[in-house]
Amino acid sequence: MDRIEALFSAMRTAAQTLEWEGRAGLGSFARQISEALCQHFAASHASLWLLDGAPGRYRLRCLGSFESDGPSQQKPVCDQQAFPGYFDTLLREGVFRCEDSVTDARLQGLPLATWRAMLDMGGQINGRTVGVLALGQRDDPRAWTKREELDLRRATAKACLRLHGMRHELETV
């Protein structure tokens, strides 16, 4: 339990930066949360994304990320039309769990994924997904545990409450 409390403490610290700096602190908030997530989950990558657009044309915009094992080639925007299996699963189930992107049928026919394993969690406010916390493992498959999924779900709820509070400002990011 101490590990999750350390993650939440880091998230509270990131939220203070956001409160002090407003929209200007959004990138710092997202990077701080991402770094705390990488440490907590011992993952290669973590990132915070904002969901916008309309059904069938949703897109995720990266607000900030952290890579523990070097820079990524991940694009800052992910369109629903380019990754329909990913978006369908994430929006329907609230989570996209992928232990091995090489063999995952939802990703077949797409360019090779940046991450070998992914655990992405959508955060909803009033039944609407507002953001996503994403974890990635670069080189090897990874079996994500139920404990990791629960911890990420709790962290996502906290982060997305902050995003929702800034929704009108974020629409111009």
Helices and strands (H and E) in the chain: how many: 5, 6
What confidence tens digit (pLDDT) does each residue in 28-38 have?
888 999 999 99
Q: Considering the chain, what is the average pLDDT of its residues?
A: 84
Contact 87, 80 (CB under 8 A): yes
Question: What pLDDT score was predicted for residue 170?
Answer: 52
Domain that holds residue 68: 2-170
Residue 20 has pLDDT above 50, yes or no: no
Q: How far apart are CA 30 and CA 166, in angstroms?
A: 13
Cα-trace Rg, the chain: 15
Residue 98, SS3 per DSSP:
strand
Highest-confidence segment of 75-79, 91-95, 123-127, 169-173: 91-95
pLDDT digits (tens, 9 = 90+) for 94-111: 999 999 999 999 988 777
Task: Report the distance separating Cα 66 and Cα 32, nearest Å.
Answer: 8
Tally the domains of the chain.
Answer: 1
112-159: pLDDT as tens digits = 667 899 999 999 988 889 999 999 999 899 999 999 999 999 999 988
Higher local confidence (pLDDT), 60 or 167: 60
Please tell me the pTM assigned to this model.
Answer: 0.85
Given a cut of 80, is residue 75 above it in pLDDT? yes
Q: Residue 34 sits in a domain of what CATH number? A: 3.30.450.40
Lowest mean pLDDT among 4-13, 19-28, 61-70: 19-28
